[in-house]
């Protein structure tokens, strides 16, 4: 992985490097990433495959710099998009210093977990840490049982339970991961939180709002692109025009809702998040468009940024 070229003076024993969280879809990887860095960098949702690309979030500590690479959940792909998401994960795993395998405390270890654990054998250079997520949802005895079950999978460099929502053991996890990184100068400027552009983060915030209350396969069929982003006047209102893409006319109707009611909610929810991100008032215009079977079409995938 490349770095930002920062060459600031660092104290003796300073460590810096890259860490990624892997696991089945919806085990809390993005929520954990945001909780560690203390700000929303990756969008979150109860829908599987919410994360669609590698997103870097940077934690700056006195003794180290932790660069978390949030990736899509590993899964058996059914579409060309699914294959490309898995490719993102595989490319990331080959580059990081530490791989953290996440398993929720409230779910039994199953075939999907065993499949992912077996994949980790291909990445011998990286250190391996097991994390029990969502520990706030179960009793201490259940957490202990899950830790015992994970311990049976392989010889881990460390195992730790955490609660991103309950803010439990996050500091301990951060320091543990930093201790496993190589000694290094700072890789990023201390003011940098992520490599994501404002435009990319805006598209993700709109997609996050669109994912609320949609069911079945529709979450997988949603993509967002930005047409235009401009100031009406220096320091004034920012105009943003975006597109929500779906695969069928019936899906378009669902997103828009009766009389445009659902799209208004999506726009209002997304606009509030975007204004918090930019620190400015925003006019947000959203159009819903159809790109037939875009998840399986190489040309459409390219146009939509995959």
Contacts of 46 (CB under 8 A, 6+ apart): 26
- Please report the pLDDT score of residue 75 as a whole number: 62
Most confident of 211-215, 218-222, 256-260: 256-260
Q: 194, 55 in Cβ contact below 8 A? A: yes
> pLDDT class for 60, splitting at 50, 70, 90?
very high
Tokens 């925003």, located at residue: 282
DSSP 228: E
pLDDT(23) > 80: yes
Residues 6+ apart with CB under 8 A from 211: 45, 47, 50, 219, 222
193, burial (CB in 10 Å: exposed 0-12, middle 13-18, buried 19+)? middle
Domain 198-303 falls under CATH 3.30.300.20 = yes
Q: Given this model, what pLDDT does residue 71 score?
A: 78
Q: Within a 10 A sphere around the Cβ of 30, how many other Cβ atoms?
A: 25
- Please state the domain extents for the chain: 15-179, 198-303
CB atoms near residue 156 (< 10 Å): 16
Contacts of 82 (CB under 8 A, 6+ apart): 49, 75, 76, 295
Alpha-carbon gap, residue 117 to 111, rounded angstroms: 10
Residue 182's CB is within 10 A of a number of other CB atoms, namely: 8
Fold topology of 15-179: Rossmann fold (3.40.50)
Q: What is the pTM of this model?
A: 0.79
Give me the residues paired with residue 93 across strands.
none
Over the stretch 102-151, which tens digit does the pLDDT of each residue have? 999 999 999 989 988 998 998 989 999 999 999 999 999 999 999 999 99
Convert the pLDDT of each residue in 142-193 to its tens digit: 999 999 999 999 999 999 999 888 778 999 999 999 999 999 999 999 989 8
- The candidate with the shortest Cα–Cα distance to 20, out of 125, 103, 128, 167, is 128
- Phi–psi pair at 97, nearest 5 degrees: -85, -30
CB 17 within 8 A of CB 40: no
CA–CA gap between residue 87 and residue 292 (Å, rounded): 23
């Amino acid at each position: 992985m490349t770095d930002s070229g920062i060459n600031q003076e660092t104290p003796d024993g300073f460590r810096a490097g890259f860490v990624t969280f892997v696991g089945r879809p919806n085990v809390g990887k993005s929520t954990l990433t945001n909780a560690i860095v203390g700000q929303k960098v990756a969008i979150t949702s109860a829908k599987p495959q919410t994360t669609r690309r590698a997103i870097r979030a940077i934690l700056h500590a006195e003794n180290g710099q932790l660069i978390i690479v949030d990736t899509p959940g590993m899964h058996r792909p059914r579409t060309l998009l699914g294959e490309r998401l898995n490719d993102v994960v595989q490319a990331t795993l080959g580059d990081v210093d530490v791989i953290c395998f996440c398993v929720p405390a409230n779910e039994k270890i199953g075939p999907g977990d065993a499949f992912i654990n077996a994949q980790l054998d291909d990445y011998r250079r990286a250190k391996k840490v097991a994390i029990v997520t969502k520990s706030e949802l179960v009793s201490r005895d259940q957490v202990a049982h899950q830790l015992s079950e994970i311990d049976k999978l392989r010889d881990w460099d460390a195992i730790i339970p955490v609660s991103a929502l309950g803010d439990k053991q996050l500091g301990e996890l951060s320091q543990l991961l930093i201790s496993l990184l190589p000694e290094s100068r700072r890789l990023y400027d201390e003011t940098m939180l992520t490599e994501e552009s404002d435009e990319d983060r805006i598209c993700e915030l709109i997609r996050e709002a669109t994912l609320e209350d949609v069911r079945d396969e529709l979450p997988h069929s949603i993509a967002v692109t930005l047409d235009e982003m401009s100031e009406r006047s220096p320091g004034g209102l920012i105009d943003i025009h975006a597109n929500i893409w779906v695969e069928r006319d019936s899906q378009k109707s669902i997103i828009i809702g009766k009389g445009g009611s659902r799209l208004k909610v999506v726009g209002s929810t997304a606009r509030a998040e975007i204004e918090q991100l930019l620190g400015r008032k925003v006019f947000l215009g959203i159009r819903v468009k159809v790109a037939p079977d875009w998840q399986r079409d190489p040309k459409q995938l390219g146009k939509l940024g995959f």
